[in-house]
Amino acid sequence: MTDLFTTYTGSVLQMLLIAAGYLGFFAIAGLLLVWLERRVAAFFQLRLGPNRVGPFGLMQTIADALKLLSKELTGTDKADKFLYNLAPYFVIITALIALAVLPFSQQIQAFDINIGLFFLTAVSSVGVIGILLGGWSSNNKYALIGAMRSGVQTVSYELSVGLSLLTMVLLTGSLQLSEIIEVQKDGWLIVQGHVPALIAFLIFMIAGTAETNRAPFDLVEAESELGAGFHTEYSGMKFAYFFLAEFINMFIIAAIAVVVFFGGWLSPFGITESLPWLGAFWFLGKTLVIIFLMMWFRWTFPRLRVDQILTLEWKYLLPINLFNIVFMAVIIWLNLEIKF
């Protein structure tokens, strides 16, 4: 009985510790990403960006977070209070759940389930419910338009994300993230699958950017059209949750891209194979490159219109994606993958 009790509490404690570790890591990662985005944007725009608080302005986001914490939480009178308050937590929690399965290195993976990839795509699309709730419940027309757009957009682009990943799953034969990476010891999947993999990667980047509601697909916020879109009526820390969730979602999309296309924690050409602890370094490094790419998109492209977003998905991405799957299947059938 005591045995059972100790093992039980032990495992609970273990889980709690891991969860706390993950939360801490991602709070810091989120803050750093916000800083990075502002810094990168500034450099694209020939500005300096935040550079006053701390070295290179690294503490700027912490200062901003403190400011947001101290702000009054305003809300609309006729808002549906329960849903209105629930929405930001919905968004941030779904963003954090997805983190559990990410393999940072061979050893660091909290939760290696055999449907990892499926889990990731599933969970990352649940966050849209939070956005819908927030937009619907805040009793603001701008927020409502933003929320409706988000629903349309996420439902559409979910297909492309799933199908482009499915193309790669044809190569790996498994949905388990650790196995996906294991397969890539013979070469990253983007090399193994060459042309169809490249197409799938491009589609994944487009659809992934749309999934995270970032420019050029930031119709949900669409600053110049809707003011602030779905989070018009949120202030203070509730707004900060939406904001942070956006960046964590960006991290997750980039991390999926790294795992599926760029070999996860594997080093390029196996140069540091003897040092497995460098896996986390490679994983985060590659993720940052993909994140930078997404920031590059954001600070270069104009925003699409709502009907153009749907045109892009249903007339371009989806048919190409379906053909691409067949193409990939043919490649595998004829054994045309490149393996080292």
Partner 1 sequence: MTNTISDRFKTEEYFINMGPQHPATHGVLRLILTIDGEIIKNVEPDLGYIHRSIEKMSERDSYQQIVHLTDRMDYLSAHMNNEAVCLLVENALEMEMPERVKVIRTIMAELTRIASHLLWWGVMGMDVGALTTFMYGFRDRELINDIFEETCGARLTMNYNIPGGLMFDILPNFQQRVKDFLTHFKTKLPEYDTLLTNNVIFQKRTKGVGYLSMEDAISFGTSGPVGRGSGYSCDVRKHHPYSAYTNIDFKEVIRTEGDTLARYEVRIQEMWESIAIIENLIDNIPEGDFKVATKAVIKLPKGEFYQKVETARGELGVFVVSTGTKNPYRIKFRSPGFSNLSALNKMIVGGKIGDLVAVTSTLDLVIPDIDR
Partner 2 sequence: MSYFSDIYNGVKTLLQGMGVTGKYFIHARKEIITQEYPDNKDTLKMFDRFRGEVVMPHDELNEHRCTGCQKCEIACPNGSIEIIWDRGIDEETGKKKKKIDKHIYHLGMCTMCGLCIEACPTDAIVWSQKFNHATLERSELTKILNKPGSVVKKGIED
Residues at the site binding partner 2, with contacts judged by CB under 8 A: 40, 42-48, 51, 296-297, 299-301, 316
Helices (H), ranges, 78-230: 81-99, 116-137, 141-172, 177-183, 189-192, 194-211, 223-226
**Which of partner 1, partner 2, none sits in contact with 185, Cβ below 5 to 8 A by type?**
none
Answer whether 26's CB lies under 8 Å from 252's CB. Answer: no
Residues of the shown chain interacting with partner 1 in the complex, contacts defined by CB under 8 A: 41, 44-47, 141-142, 145, 149, 215-216, 218-219, 222-227, 299-308
- Rounded to whole angstroms, how far apart are CA atoms 40 and 292? 8
Handedness of CA 73, 76, 80, 84 (dihedral sign): negative
What is the enclosing helix (H) or strand (E) of 293?
A: helix 279-298
Among partner 1, partner 2, none, the one that 303 touches (CB under a kind-dependent 5 to 8 A) is: partner 1
CB of 308 to partner 1, least distance (A): 6
Please state the closest distance from residue 57 (CB atom) to partner 2, in A. Answer: 12
Closest CA to 97 of 26, 12, 2, 167: 26
What distances in angstroms separate CA 316 from CA 58, 160, 177, 190, 206, one per listed residue?
Answer: 41, 10, 29, 21, 11
How many angstroms separate the Cα of 315 from the Cα of each of 216, 309, 311? 18, 10, 5
- Shortest Å distance, C-beta 281 to partner 1: 31
Closest distance to partner 2 from the beta carbon of 48 (Å): 6
Residue 297 binding target from partner 1, partner 2, none, CB below 5 to 8 Å by type: partner 2
Is the Cβ of residue 15 or residue 326 nearer to partner 2 in the bound state? 326
CB of 305 to partner 1, least distance (A): 4
Instruction: Report the partner that residue 236 touches, choosing among partner 2, partner 1, none (CB closer than 5 to 8 A by kind).
Output: none
Residue whose CB is less far from partner 2, 37 or 233: 37
Shortest distance in whole angstroms from residue 300 CB to partner 2? 5
Helix 194-211 and helix 279-298: axis angle, to 10°? 70
Q: From residue 163, give the alpha-carbon distance in Å to each of 60, 62, 204, 280, 286.
A: 39, 38, 9, 28, 22
Report the residue number, 144 or 258, with the smaller CB distance to partner 1.
144
233/337 with CB nearer partner 1: 233
| Chosen from partner 2, partner 1, none, partner binding at 97 (C-beta under 5 to 8 Å by type) | none
Q: From partner 1, partner 2, none, which one binds at residue 81 (CB under 5 to 8 Å depending on kind)? A: none
